[in-house]
A and B are shown apart, each in its own frame.
Chain A
Amino acid sequence: MIELLKRLGCYPRNCVWELTLACDMRCLHCGSYAGARRDDELSIPEMESVADQLAAMKCEKVTLGGGEPTLHPRWHDLGRRLSDQGVRVNMISNGWSWTPEHLEKARHARLTNIAFSLDGFEEAHDRVRKPGSFQRVVAALDHCAREGFPASVVSHVNRLNAHTLREFRAFLGQHRVSSWQIQLGIPSGALRDNRDLVIQPDDLLWLIPQIAALRTDPTPGPAVLAADNVGYFGKYEKPLRDRGAEISFWIGCRAGMQVIGIESNGNVKGCLSLPSARHGNDRFVEDNLRRRPLKDIWEDPKAFAWNRGFTEEQLGGFCAVCRYRDICRGGCAWTAYSHTSNRFDNPYCFYRQALIAGRLDELGDDVANDTELAVAAGLRAGDIPEGGTS
């Protein structure tokens, strides 16, 4: 199996591109401390070159992000440049300054859809983002709906909105939102200073089943997507992640394998969410596009070694003995690193939390007599029944 898998390759299938770090919001949970643009952001010709390089590398999807990408004066031209080369392009915006002109530009860029950040109902959203921003985002959603342009929503789940997800999906349906991406707010960036907003690992015991239920909810409303830091395994894995593909479960972080992040100054990371110099840690920055072309960076045998060179020995904590350790590889790298400073020890895992809580019926696995697993989860040997649990 290993020999077979080694014959397979990887390519930057999915890119998130921070066009600028400039932002007209100062969100309490911003992972990149967005606000002022970077001093050394790429020039327009450099960005055009980056777009061409992504297309040449057969990148399939690019999300234009920021900061606030609409503050970049040429976001639409860059989007069009990518679209014209066969790349599917969309954008994520905070919606604060959305105008009809933006929609015209989005059409010009041939964006497949626009996603707006909306973190729950008005009180919850405005508290973490900006007073008045909820209404502006809703207005932007309605504007897109009226104009027949697909609009999506991305929500960070935190303590203010976690209990209203079901009602919120219905609300989004009323505003003709086509898809809704749910991701966990992680104490990286500004959220490190607002940890009271962060959900706790054992919250996954009720949150994961709820998100899985939302994904299979037959009532009208947006399609629900669980982002890569929501999971993993147990009996909710398939409803949580199934999108009709043959593999309907988590197969590990794909940063530097099928996912790539580009910062507005040309820094390349396996995933844009990973820490960089602004977090005091640039170990995940592989190189800069001013120094080397994307192809050279991507194909450097030493690049993305933290993920491409994974071995099970790197895993820590419970992840080191988990049954899914070779497949899961510690879940979302950013989430694990933000919480434990170890990319390979991730407490934000449903399987782990269910086992710790003794919720063996939620595992979907027969863990009888698995002493190693029990010890790792802090259980006594007697807590694991002999008769099987699945």
Chain B
Amino acid sequence: MSESEVRAILRQVCERLARQVVMPVGKMAVPVALGAALAGGTGCFSDGGPSSTPIYSAPYDAVTEAGLDNVSTPDVGDPGSDVFPKDADDPGSVPLYMALDVAPPDSAYMGPDAGPSDPGAQPPYMAPDDPGPQPAYMAVDAVDTDPGSVPLYMAVDAGPTDPGALPPYMAPS
């Protein structure tokens, strides 16, 4: 699409908004400059506006949200059955990961003493006891270098599950 097409669409949107100028209830107005207004403006469109797809997000789309029956896929029968053929005595309904020599999920991973429990595929430079080329701030034991503004309850020894340290505004009313 050309620049003139892009700007024509923006112009149309702006003209319509000039007639509407309705802020969605509960959506906070923040003084913004041109760039922010361009982006924030999409929240005011009657059709919801184009959705952003941030890096690290998982996709939301109409197809997914309409349900799996709406997914356009080849007719392949049992998904995956032709990709990784199972043994003749495989019951078929057993997910593949159960057939693999897979250790169960490490529920202790989140425990207070847990560290990286499976260094298998870990590149050597990332090994916790190998300072090699790893910058100091990346070390497993590293903490923010600016502890000044860290409240006492956030200290390393406080532990992550201490509910007593709730900031006042988070405390149940």
Contact = CB atoms under 8 A, between A and B. Distances in A.
Interface of A: 1-2, 4-11, 13-14, 16, 20, 22, 24-26, 28, 31, 33, 35-37, 39-46, 49, 57-58, 61, 63, 65, 70-73, 88, 90-92, 97-100, 112-115, 129-132, 135-136, 138-143, 145-146, 148-150, 152, 154, 170-171, 173-181, 183, 186, 190, 193, 220-223, 225-229, 233, 235, 237-238, 241, 243-249, 251-259, 261, 271-273, 277-278, 280, 282, 289-291, 293, 295, 298-299, 301, 307-311, 323-324, 326-327, 329, 332, 334, 364-366, 390
B117 A24 contact: yes
Contact of A327 (B38, B48, B105, B110): B38
A7 B56 contact: no
A90 B54 CA distance: 13
B54 A43 contact: no
B6 A249 contact: yes
B61 A46 contact: no
A48 B113 CA distance: 24
Contacts of B80: 138-139, 141-142, 145, 174-175
A257 B6 contact: no
Given A35-B116, A113-B65, A295-B28, 13 more contacts: A5-B38, A31-B56, A40-B150, A41-B160, A97-B104, A97-B105, A135-B100, A145-B79, A176-B71, A176-B73, A259-B52, A290-B153, A366-B2
Interface string B50-65: 1111111111111111
Contacts of B88: none
A298 B113 CA distance: 35
Given A9-B32, A22-B110, A277 B144 contact: yes
Contact of B44 (A8, A22, A135, A141): A8
Nearest to B136: A280
Contacts, number: 426
B38 A252 contact: yes
12 contacts: A7-B37, A9-B28, A11-B24, A14-B51, A22-B114, A26-B121, A40-B156, A45-B163, A46-B167, A150-B64, A150-B71, A176-B76
Contacts of B74: 170, 173-174, 220-221
Contacts of B145: 277
B25 to A, nearest CB: 9
B58 to A, nearest CB: 3
A61 to B, nearest CB: 6
Contacts of A45: 163, 166, 170
Contact of B30 (A129, A145, A290, A299): A299
B40 interface: yes
Per CB-CB distance, the 10 closest pairs between chain A and chain B, nearest first, are A310-B35, A5-B37, A139-B96, A10-B40, A115-B58, A142-B80, A97-B105, A49-B170, A9-B29, A145-B79
Interface of B (DSSP majority class): loop
A237 B160 CA distance: 45
A150 B97 contact: no
Interface string B137-155: 1101001110001110110
B32 A46 contact: no
Given A8-B41, A220-B72, A365-B2, A257 B32 contact: yes
Nearest to B58: A115
B60 A88 contact: yes
Contacts of B26: 58
Contacts of B85: none
Given A148-B68, A150-B68, A4 B18 contact: yes
A79 to B, nearest CB: 12
Contact of B57 (A8, A9, A14, A247): A14
A14 B52 contact: yes
A51 to B, nearest CB: 11
A341 B170 CA distance: 37
A364 B161 CA distance: 55
Contact of B40 (A8, A273, A278, A324): A8
B96 A135 contact: yes
Nearest to A58: B26
Contacts of B96: 135-136, 138-139, 142
